Amino acid sequence: MIFWLFSLPLVTQAQIRLDSNLVKAGLEAISSATLSDKQVADYSRQAMVQMDAQNPVAGPNDPYTVRLNRIVSRHHTISGIPLNYKVYKVKDVNAFATADGSVRVFQGLMDIMTDTELLAVMGHEIGHVANHDVRDAMKRSLQRSAIRDVASANSGVIGKISRSQLGDVADYLVGASFSRKQETEADDYSYSFLKRNGYNVLALATSFEKLAKLSGGQSGKVASMLSSHPDSKVRAQRVRDRARREGLTR
Ligand SMILES: [Zn+2]
């Protein structure tokens, strides 16, 4: 037994020298198997603490916070996920939600959207959480990060998540991109959320149309948000078609 424990690191090092791809695949399997949903939520929470510390968060009496709190007052839990909301006072047109139920809305988005359109955008982002898109993407991001660190340190040990890894994850959270199928499913989630709660479902369509218009005139931050959300006009039309079928056009 002692011999086996002693020899294991030597075997691992030999593999790294001989076939790094094989070792990488093995590490991927290990981290994939050991990273629980709870760990992902814990990492998300840690990353959010860091994100909130690095961004101008609107205070409790700030008009943006007051407005957001009013808009979400009925929605502190969605699909069994307890949610916490904050406004970042930055000009970017963006919003995101994380696996621990944190929803962050940027001032730039609030400036151009109506209350129901904001709910539609948040409903879409929360849809990514409820559908586990965010959790799965976060797992992949953590694995990539862990594998890279292990490969560079050549230590053969996946240690605790480091501060720089959290930084990687935080960067990732804002620019997360999902598959087209995941986007469509998040749209459907938002549509159902709006419908179930008696909101005008067409707010989802008009929010896409506003983003499509913006992407024509601006570049940078807006474009990067839209790059993960392609075909805003097509998606808006899809919402309008469904609303017509369901007699929800107003
Ligand atoms: Zn999305």
pLDDT digits (tens, 9 = 90+) for 171-230: 555 556 788 899 999 999 999 999 999 999 999 999 999 988 886 644 444 444 544 455
Please report which confidence band the pLDDT of residue 167 belongs to, taking 50, 70 and 90 as the band edges: low
Say how many Å lie between the CA of residue 193 and the centre of ligand 1.
15
Is 149 within 8 Å of 162 (Cβ atoms)?
Answer: yes
Q: Which residues surround ligand 1, an ion (CB under 5 A)?
A: 183, 186
What percent of the chain lies above the pLDDT cut of 70? 65
CA 212, CA 115: separation in Å to the nearest integer? 19
Domain that holds residue 169: 20-179
pLDDT attached to residue 214: 80
Q: Is residue 125 part of a domain?
A: yes
Q: Is residue 250 part of a domain?
A: no
Q: Is residue 229 part of a domain?
A: no
- Per residue in 18-77, pLDDT tens? 334 444 544 454 455 567 778 778 888 888 888 898 889 999 999 999 999 999 999 999
SS (H, E, C) 128-153: HHHCCHHHHHHHHHHHHHHHHHHHHH
Say how many Å lie between the CA of residue 9 and the centre of ligand 1.
42
Domain CATH code at residue 74: 3.30.2010.10
Active site residues: 125
What percent of the chain lies above the pLDDT cut of 90? 42
Q: Is residue 3 part of a domain?
A: no
Say how many Å lie between the CA of residue 127 and the centre of ligand 1.
8
What is the reported pTM? Answer: 0.76
Q: Is residue 102 part of a domain?
A: yes
Radius of gyration of the chain (CA): 21
Average pLDDT for residues 129-150, to the nearest whole number?
75
* C-alpha angle 75-181-227 in degrees, rounded to nearest 5: 85
Say how many Å lie between the CA of residue 135 and the centre of ligand 1.
13
Q: Is residue 29 part of a domain?
A: yes
Say how many Å lie between the CA of residue 158 and the centre of ligand 1.
31
Q: Is residue 236 part of a domain?
A: no
* C-alpha angle 48-127-118 in degrees, rounded to nearest 5: 80
pLDDT attached to residue 50: 84
Number of structural domains the chain divides into: 1
User: What stretch of H or E contains 69?
Assistant: helix 63-71
Q: Is residue 195 part of a domain?
A: no
Check the CA dihedral 196-197-202-205 and report its sign: negative
